Amino acid sequence: MRSGCRTLILALLLAALAWHAPARAADAAFTQFLASLWPQAQAAGVSRETFERETRGLEPDYKLPDLVLSGRPATGASAQAEFVQVPANYVKESTIARLAAEGQRLMQKHRAALDHIESRFGVPAPMVLALWGRETDYGRYTSPHDTLRVVATQAYVGRRKEQYRDEFIFALKILDDGVVTRKDFRSSWAGATGLTQFLPSEYYKHGVDLDGDGRVDIWHSVPDALASAAKQLADKGWQPGVRWAYEVRAPANADCTLGVPEVQRPIGEWQRAGFAPVQRLSAAEQAQPASLLQPEGNYGPSFLTTKNYFVIKQYNFSDLYVLFVGHLSDRMVNPQRFATPWTASTQLRTKSVEAMQKHLAGLGLYTDKIDGKAGMLTRAALGAYQKSAGLKVDCWPSEAVLQSTGAAR
């Protein structure tokens, strides 16, 4: 073998060792980090035996999103469908129709439990079923990650370390209490677990033993999981008898910059301004305060959202998530599709939206998080920019608007 080749191979080996050495050191530091959490776990009532057993050999998962790793590229937030898909793809008609049909069947199967849930928490059966359907496809979807490993990793190198330290302790407590085995304790990359996807802390805040077997089991007991989801909504302010939203036909001159939670008006006032509900409303409904939601800006369907809309949004912060769950719950009792069709065919990627947010923030038009998610506040700020720049005001983050802001450079 020529000396040049030997030198090259040696250099490659040394480079590989240099790359893996920090990982080994980091994992040793991870073990030390876990050990430092014992006093907090002990204070929460976790036994030493459980702590030692469940943390022994536990390794971080550096492939998870939303991590900050020294010396390595940031993994960034997960490209969640709620934030990178256009509404027509996320609230897909074929998916809604399938889940609605299955929801109708499950409504009959679990009628007694659902009646009890609605009587106790004021949350309608279709709504809790819609949460279950969206989160885990009525239990068909199995979460891919080990919950304890996820929350431990996020506590160690995630962007929300303090929050996940608490979640790690609660995850240990769940295992210590014996309500689920480690094998069945599966979660999303963010640590949400069970049929209706609760963080470990939410299990203790909102868990309900509806089937009366003496334990709260959101992994295997449908009554417990649905009741716990309903209690979470009730605890966050759900108003019985109030819809989540009303679809309206927006006037041609609608000001899409009004589509923010802070702009609330009685539905009747919106109606007098030209926002026509697609269904007849009672006087009580017209008196309800509501905010404007236009997921595609001035294109596609428009909605007037009630307080319950924002309660669901505390379950998942995406407007499209709430839209999916709300529409699915409606479709279980009414086959009517949205009156106005979706029109957008493309959605900017997260990095482009983030660049746009930074530009809008620099102009003083956007004051919320720079997160690459084109939610209500981002769309309204974009509309304000379009007004100031003399552009067509549609509040939709298109490639053309991105180019006009200069944020694409």
Count CB atoms within 10 A of the CB of residue 123: 25
Report percent pLDDT > 90 for the chain: 79
Burial 86-122 (b: 16+ CB within 10 A, else e): bbbebbeeebbeebbebbeebbeebeebbebbbeebe
Count CB atoms within 10 A of the CB of residue 81: 13
Contact 181, 171 (CB under 8 A): no
- pLDDT, position 316: 93
pLDDT average, residue stretch 140-148: 95
Question: Measured between alpha carbons, how far is 84 from 339 in angstroms, rounded to an integer?
Answer: 24
Tracing tokens 């969640």 back to the chain, one arrives at 80
Tracing tokens 């677990």 back to the chain, one arrives at 193
DSSP 296: B
pLDDT over 80 (residue 81): no
At residue 74 the predicted structure's pLDDT band, cuts being 50, 70 and 90, is low
- pLDDT, position 19: 39
pLDDT over 70 (residue 73): no
What 3-state DSSP class applies to 19?
helix
DSSP 196: T
Beta strands in 300-386 (DSSP E): 302-305
Task: Render pLDDT for 214-265 as a digit per residue (tens, 0 to 9).
Answer: 999 999 999 999 999 999 999 999 999 999 999 999 999 899 999 999 999 9
pTM value? 0.88
What 3-state DSSP class applies to 247?
strand
Contact 145, 61 (CB under 8 A): yes
Task: Render pLDDT for 307-320 as a digit per residue (tens, 0 to 9).
Answer: 999 999 999 988 99
At residue 399 the predicted structure's pLDDT band, cuts being 50, 70 and 90, is confident
pLDDT over 50 (residue 54): yes
Phi first, then psi: what are they for 326, rounded to 5°? -65, -45
Question: Measured between alpha carbons, how far is 44 from 154 in angstroms, rounded to an integer?
Answer: 20
Contact 387, 393 (CB under 8 A): yes
Structure tokens at 294: 């236009």
Mean residue pLDDT across the chain: 90
